[in-house]
Structure 1
Amino acid sequence: MTLRLLVVASETPTQRAQRRRHAGASSDETYKETLLSLRPDASVETISCVDTALDPPGFDIEGFDGVFFAGSPIDMQNDGLEARSAANFMSNVYQVGVPAFGSCAGLQIAAVAAGGRSEPRLPHMKAGFVRGITATDAGRRHPLLAGREIVWNAPAMHAQIVAELPEGGTLLARSRHTPVEAAEIRHANGVFYGVQYHPEISLAEIAIALRRETDDLIAQGLARAAGDVDEYAQMLEQLAEAPERDDLAWRLGLDDDVIVPAMRLIEIRNFLSFLT
């Protein structure tokens, strides 16, 4: 079966261009590459839910087997044009009934579109990795988390969280400062699986993201100086090039659930299996 997949961007055109300059690809383009690495026989298209100029001609959600929402800095707690556009797009996905998956902002978009609520993450942004994600009883039995231990780590970069799941939402995992790390949402005719973290992002991409957020990391007290961020990012890049470096893994506090791509990508792989 050849899967026809849609990746949805929620970065603005400016944000997409900035990420291309820093990381070589926008978030939706990274997601597309990840999906093709797992299913090279799939057909993968991209679209923006905040920039209609990117809509391909003759676009029809019903023609897809699955929809993926990439991450972005979108602020779903404020009733701005971009947030409304993203929520309306997701509402249409729910109505059509095509199964969907999302990372980070994708989870927030899906929750708000179904009647949930997002808010700023406190005490500060999550930058780099989230430690101690813990599956709920429902999560331990859920196909999205099949293959995960009860507790695991994952790449993460976000300043917003889902504060309240909508009716029809099932909490699958949480962490210390993030009440919803993974969830299933059933709404209208559709089902959404989502995670607050980024299984699709590599160690090298996290290094790039941290350097891009250097000023904010210092302002929030997560780093004392730009050199601290750069040193940490350099270790991530070295570990990405040589994943067998146990010394770097030890210094960074990372395990195979982050370092080994097959383990980092478990949720996306499970969702692709769900589609078939």
Structure 2
Amino acid sequence: MLKVLVAESETPEEREARREHTGKSSGESYAATLDQMMPGVKITRIAPADEDARTYTPEGLAEYDGVFLTGSPLHVYDDTPAVRRQLAFMRAVFASGTPSFGSCAGLQVAVAAAGGTVRKMPDRLEAGIARRIVATAEGRDHPLLAGRTPAWDAPAIHGDEVEELPEGGTLLAGNGSTRVQAAEIRHDGGVFWGVQYHPELSLAEIATALRRQKDGLVGAGLARDQADVEAQADLLDALDSDPGSRPLRWRLGVDAAFAEADGRRIELGNFIRALVLPRHAARSAPATP
């Protein structure tokens, strides 16, 4: 049976707060998406940043076909026990050789664990829609971005960003707001593919995140007032309910690749096909006498 691990870095309090507003924690959202994309997969959800979290060894992690790291409010540049536990977990993932994928804070955790740096965005947040993401020369031929058009939009909400990729990191895509929107990291025998945006989330979940952070969005100058945030969130909710609506796509300035779930999930699907399924096939193959 295909086995994957979903690691969320939210604290217990943050998980409960997200459940209250969205109905799911970040890990539960990820697991629901993966269950749709890989019917029959066995998904184990863990929280490595928690104080009472189990410590995973590289040998234990090698039993999985893939590891997925969720987004969260975690700031990996803060030297806290929760951050140290999360980074130690990611280093064990690299050492295990199990392929891993992360979005938003998941990308940032992998970068920091491999020796790169993450910072608070110097200018403003990127919230709702990451616009005009463009592949680098390396990214145009990379399997993570197979099927992407020359420029695309994606759901996003973050105030931190990758400052410098580690040794073994390859920049695959960026945009005018954030230089590192997609990257590959090869470190200690492992390979990680990650994006700064959120291929795993529905547009309704992004709308809820905007409403939860409306004071910060107004303070950052992205919206004139809370009503602006509510209006944008309402449009995203409406498009979530009716992804084929041409008027809604026009008002938001997006295309089918953003409006429809399959378009938003391209990177996740590419990771599963390119790295997770081949690993599962190799692990399941009969031993050679």
Q: For 1:95-144, what per-residue CA distance to the aligned partner results, in whole angstroms no more than 9, with x for missing partners?
A: 11111000000000000000000001131111101001110111111111
Are residue 51 (structure 1) and residue 31 (structure 2) matched? no
Partner of 2:171: 171
Q: CA deviation at 1:226?
A: 1.6
Q: CA deviation at 1:174?
A: 0.8
Mapped partners of 1:41, 1:67: distance in 2 = 16
Partner of 2:112: 112
Mapped partners of 1:204, 1:227: distance in 2 = 17
Q: CA deviation at 1:255?
A: 1.2
Mapped partners of 2:49, 2:105: distance in 1 = 13
Q: Does structure 2 conserve the Cα–Cα contact (< 8 Å) formed by 1:47 and 1:56?
A: no
% of aligned pairs identical? 47
Q: Does structure 2 conserve the Cα–Cα contact (< 8 Å) formed by 1:134 and 1:151?
A: yes
Q: CA deviation at 1:224?
A: 1.8
The one-letter code of the counterpart of 2:120 is P
Are residue 190 (structure 1) and residue 179 (structure 2) matched? no
Q: CA deviation at 1:86?
A: 1.0
Mapped partners of 2:100, 2:147: distance in 1 = 20
Q: Hey, which bits of structure 1, 4+ residues long, moved more than 3 A?
A: 52-59
Q: Does structure 1 conserve the Cα–Cα contact (< 8 Å) formed by 2:56 and 2:89?
A: no
Q: CA deviation at 1:57?
A: 10
Q: CA deviation at 1:53?
A: 3.2
The one-letter code of the counterpart of 1:10 is S
Q: How many residues in Structure 1 have an aligned counterpart in Structure 2?
A: 275
TM normalised by structure 2 equals 0.92
Partner of 1:20: 19
Paired residue secondary structure (1:93): helix
Range with greater deviation from structure 2 (103-112 or 49-58): 49-58
Paired residue secondary structure (2:94): helix
TM normalised by structure 1 equals 0.96
Partner of 2:241: 241
Question: Where in structure 2 are the equivalents of 1:28-107 lying within 5 Å?
Answer: 28-55=27-54, 60-107=60-107
Q: Does structure 1 conserve the Cα–Cα contact (< 8 Å) formed by 2:126 and 2:177?
A: no
The one-letter code of the counterpart of 2:78 is N
Range with greater deviation from structure 2 (236-245 or 34-43): 236-245
Structure 1 residues without counterparts, runs of 5 or longer: none
Mapped partners of 1:52, 1:265: distance in 2 = 32
The one-letter code of the counterpart of 2:176 is R
Q: CA deviation at 1:80?
A: 1.8
The one-letter code of the counterpart of 1:210 is L
Mapped partners of 1:106, 1:44: distance in 2 = 17
The one-letter code of the counterpart of 1:4 is K
Q: Does structure 1 conserve the Cα–Cα contact (< 8 Å) formed by 2:7 and 2:48?
A: yes
Distance 1:73 1:268, change over 3 A: same
Question: Where in structure 2 are the equivalents of 1:2-13 lying within 5 Å?
Answer: 2-13=1-12
Mapped partners of 1:41, 1:232: distance in 2 = 36
Q: Does structure 2 conserve the Cα–Cα contact (< 8 Å) formed by 1:199 and 1:265?
A: yes
Structure 2 residues without counterparts, runs of 5 or longer: 278-289
Q: For 1:211-246, what per-residue CA distance to the aligned partner results, in whole angstroms no more than 9, with x for missing partners?
A: 000111111121122222112111111111111221
Distance 1:201 1:139, change over 3 A: same
Mapped partners of 2:264, 2:11: distance in 1 = 27
Q: For 1:138-192, what per-residue CA distance to the aligned partner results, in whole angstroms no more than 9, with x for missing partners?
A: 1111111111112111000101001100000011001112111000000001000
Range with greater deviation from structure 2 (258-267 or 47-56): 47-56
Mapped partners of 1:21, 1:236: distance in 2 = 20
Q: Does structure 1 conserve the Cα–Cα contact (< 8 Å) formed by 2:182 and 2:196?
A: yes
Mapped partners of 1:271, 1:87: distance in 2 = 22
Q: CA deviation at 1:78?
A: 2.0
Q: Does structure 2 conserve the Cα–Cα contact (< 8 Å) formed by 1:122 and 1:177?
A: no
Q: Does structure 1 conserve the Cα–Cα contact (< 8 Å) formed by 2:56 and 2:92?
A: no
Mapped partners of 1:209, 1:38: distance in 2 = 23
Q: CA deviation at 1:55?
A: 3.9
Mapped partners of 2:44, 2:147: distance in 1 = 28
